[in-house]
Amino acid sequence: MTEALKIGIAGLGTVGAGVIKLLQANAAHVAARANRPIVVTAVSARDRHRERGIDLGGFAWVDNAPDLAARADVDAVVELIGGSDGPALALARATLGAGKSFVTANKAMIAHHAMELAERAEAMNAALKFEAAVAGGIPVIKGMREGLAANAISQVAGILNGTSNYILSVMEREGAAFAKVLADAQALGYAEADPTFDVDGIDAAHKLSILASLAFGARPLFEGVTTAGIREILAADIDYARVLGYRIKLVGAARLVDGKLLQRVHPCLVPMAHPLAHVMDSTNAVLAEGNFVGRVLFEGRGAGEGPTASAVVADLIDIARGEFGPPLAMPVSALMPLEAADPLAPSERVYIRLTVADRPGVLAEVTAILRDFAVSVESVIQRGAAPEGGVYFVLTTHRTPEGGAWRAQPDQRPRQYAGPAAHDANPGELICRSQGRPTSRRPACSTAFWCSRWSA
């Protein structure tokens, strides 16, 4: 066996502690796979005296994380601090600038800075690895970069955020409201005190932009991901979806549309028979369609100490073996600079829940508006009083022309979905696209929620 790979770890929280535990518990196994031992020599975190359930006695302590990069006893650095910029980015730049290899679980940083960091890594012939950044323990980065490398990928889609999938699963099982399930999950430590990134789809958008880059040989385009989260979903929506034969999931999906990159994270009604409908609780899954391999599904635990450490150490084993290629699967210079596709452009089948006044003629008003805009209704459910007054009116549409891009209460939509004409619309309006121009009419509906139905 050759000399050990000496690593420095910055961040000793859930994942950092997990990596140290794994390297200790599986030391012989890892050394056999890597053909050399992998040893931790130096660590950094904020609080030197915090109890972490691991013995740090044998490691040098470094107060300023970026200083790990210059140490003679560090060959490769593992960044497990988090955050798209700040100390994590400073450490990445310092490590790659020193020509040393860099491993991270930090999807936010990779989503925002992949191009710059990959360029640095390539220039210095150093590794930049981030298996743990997408879907935790599932080897989906390796799967996309290597396993599916021979295929033209037509679509990559998945359930990329365990917290939101857990919340939707509990809402379904218990018939409970989003706010209650979120509060319980926070009390149990399953959700962050600030859940924005998870429940509003931003975390999934970070991961999707990384996957899409690998799938389509394109520069990562995080700014091009349109995002809608799960806050507006009611337990009643989950129940209506079930009656219609679907389960509501927060799906991240990317594909090419007329040579542009369509990337969306949004609630989606997934048919019960589809494999993504069966991904429950905090499990993640990624589905890719290749032109020779067909459909491939990766599924497993997308977060947590063990799964995430497993992915980090897999990257270290590759580095110890000297097996690493361009970080984004192709040299940065060969990545396509794709533009973002208009998220409203593709035709879609949608699910709509309206709260309408409980008086004769309202349903006819709604369906008349749909008729006028050539939106063809597939099914209708009118059942159940809404707690805020009125009744729920639920319908699903066939594929609609002009992207099915009609919606109600656009001022409450996440900003990314609001088309230019939606900004001056009023609450309660239904917005339809007609010949590419959004047009609105106002029936007696007070609130509304709409989302796509899976159509691949």
Ligand X SMILES: NC(=O)c1ccc[n+]([C@@H]2O[C@H](COP(=O)([O-])OP(=O)(O)OC[C@H]3O[C@@H](n4cnc5c(N)ncnc54)[C@H](OP(=O)(O)O)[C@@H]3O)[C@@H](O)[C@H]2O)c1
289 close to 274: Cβ distance less than 8 angstroms? no
Shortest separation between residue 27's beta carbon and ligand X, angstroms: 21
Bridge partners (DSSP) of residue 104 are 79
User: Exposed, middle or buried by CB within 10 Å (0-12, 13-18, 19+), for 176?
Assistant: middle
Kindly indicate which of the ranges 77-85, 188-196, 280-288, 338-346 contains the residues binding ligand X, using the contact rule CB under 6 A.
77-85
Q: Does 87 bind ligand X (CB under 6 A)?
A: yes
Q: Does 82 bind ligand X (CB under 6 A)?
A: yes
Q: Does 284 bind ligand X (CB under 6 A)?
A: no
**Euclidean distance between CA atoms 52 and 422, whole angstroms:** 50
Q: Does 95 bind ligand X (CB under 6 A)?
A: no
Q: Does 15 bind ligand X (CB under 6 A)?
A: yes
Q: Does 128 bind ligand X (CB under 6 A)?
A: no
**Euclidean distance between CA atoms 406 and 348, whole angstroms:** 10
Q: Does 321 bind ligand X (CB under 6 A)?
A: no
Shortest separation between residue 14's beta carbon and ligand X, angstroms: 4
- Choose between 106 and 447: whose C-beta lies nearer to ligand X: 106
Torsion of CA 367, 373, 375, 380, to 10 degrees: -10
- Choose between 81 and 287: whose C-beta lies nearer to ligand X: 81
Structure tokens at 432: 């339809």
Q: Does 12 bind ligand X (CB under 6 A)?
A: yes
Kindly indicate which of the ranges 39-47, 114-122, 324-332, 428-436 contains the residues binding ligand X, using the contact rule CB under 6 A.
39-47
- Choose between 14 and 151: whose C-beta lies nearer to ligand X: 14
Taking CB under 6 A as the criterion, the residue among 106, 209, 283, 440 binding ligand X is: 106
**Euclidean distance between CA atoms 149 and 132, whole angstroms:** 19
396 close to 350: Cβ distance less than 8 angstroms? yes
Shortest separation between residue 21's beta carbon and ligand X, angstroms: 12
Q: Does 51 bind ligand X (CB under 6 A)?
A: no
Q: Does 44 bind ligand X (CB under 6 A)?
A: yes
Which residues have C-beta within 8 Å of that of residue 178, sequence separation ≥ 6? Answer: 167, 171, 230, 231, 233, 234, 235
Shortest separation between residue 348's beta carbon and ligand X, angstroms: 31
Shortest separation between residue 95's beta carbon and ligand X, angstroms: 14
Shortest separation between residue 60's beta carbon and ligand X, angstroms: 14
Taking CB under 6 A as the criterion, the residue among 7, 10, 34, 153 binding ligand X is: 10
> 305-321 and 27-34 are packed helices; what angle lies between their axes, rounded to 10 degrees?
40
Fill in the amino acid letter for 7.
I
Kindly indicate which of the ranges 79-87, 279-287, 332-340, 374-382 contains the residues binding ligand X, using the contact rule CB under 6 A.
79-87
Question: How many Cβ atoms sit within 10 Å of the Cβ of residue 125?
Answer: 9
**Euclidean distance between CA atoms 348 and 453, whole angstroms:** 7
First-to-last CA distance in the chain? 49
Q: Does 13 bind ligand X (CB under 6 A)?
A: yes
**Euclidean distance between CA atoms 222 and 34, whole angstroms:** 33
Helix (H) / strand (E) containing 96: helix 86-97
Shortest separation between residue 106's beta carbon and ligand X, angstroms: 4
Distances in Å between the alpha carbon of 353 and those of 235, 392, 446? Answer: 12, 7, 11
* Catalytic position from the list 21, 207, 249, 260: 207
User: Among candidates 452, 450, 422, which has minimal Cα distance to 437?
Assistant: 422
Structure tokens at 194: 């600030």
Q: Nearest to ligand X by Cβ — which residue?
A: 13
**Euclidean distance between CA atoms 58 and 324, whole angstroms:** 29
**Euclidean distance between CA atoms 67 and 56, whole angstroms:** 18
Taking CB under 6 A as the criterion, the residue among 81, 268, 332, 395 binding ligand X is: 81
Kindly indicate which of the ranges 121-129, 300-308, 353-361, 396-404 contains the residues binding ligand X, using the contact rule CB under 6 A.
300-308
Q: Is 207 a catalytic residue?
A: yes
Q: Does 250 bind ligand X (CB under 6 A)?
A: no
Taking CB under 6 A as the criterion, the residue among 29, 46, 321, 437 binding ligand X is: 46
Shortest separation between residue 334's beta carbon and ligand X, angstroms: 28
Window 135-174: residues binding ligand X (CB under 6 A): 136
Kindly indicate which of the ranges 7-15, 178-186, 215-223, 376-384 contains the residues binding ligand X, using the contact rule CB under 6 A.
7-15
Q: Does 308 bind ligand X (CB under 6 A)?
A: yes
> Parallel, antiparallel, or unpaired: how do β-strands 5-10 and 76-79 relate?
parallel
**Euclidean distance between CA atoms 81 and 10, whole angstroms:** 6
Q: Which residues bind ligand X (CB under 6 A)?
A: 10-16, 44-47, 50, 65, 80-82, 87, 105-107, 132, 136, 303-304, 308
Residues annotated catalytic, as ranges: 207
